[in-house]
Amino acid sequence: SSSKVAVDAVGCKPGDWVICVGSSAAREAAGSKSYPSDLTIVGIIDHWDTEKA
């Protein structure tokens, strides 16, 4: 697996499972189409059952 860096638009904390968008959607989700972001966090997953994933 590879690591990625994302703009946090929702205020997550380390260890949270998150939902991200990429490309032009990432820039718009970060607040501006001119924002230099390729990946933006847009949601926090409340529960993820790793046993069934």
Per-residue model confidence as pLDDT tens digits over 23-37: 888 888 877 777 777
Report the predicted TM-score, pTM, of the whole model to 2 decimal places: 0.72
Please answer whether residues 18 and 37 qualify as being in contact, where contact means their C-beta atoms are separated by less than 8 angstroms. Answer: no
CA dihedral for 46, 50, 21, 15, sign (positive or negative): positive
Whole-number pLDDT of residue 43: 94
CA 27 to chain centre: 12
Q: Can you give the pLDDT at residue 20?
A: 92
Q: What is the pLDDT along the chain (53 residues), one digit of tens a residue?
A: 677 788 888 999 999 999 999 888 888 887 777 777 789 999 999 987 878 75
C-alpha dist (Å) from residue 33 to 6, 18, 25, 46: 15, 22, 8, 28
Domains contained in the chain, CATH given = 7-44 (2.40.50.220)
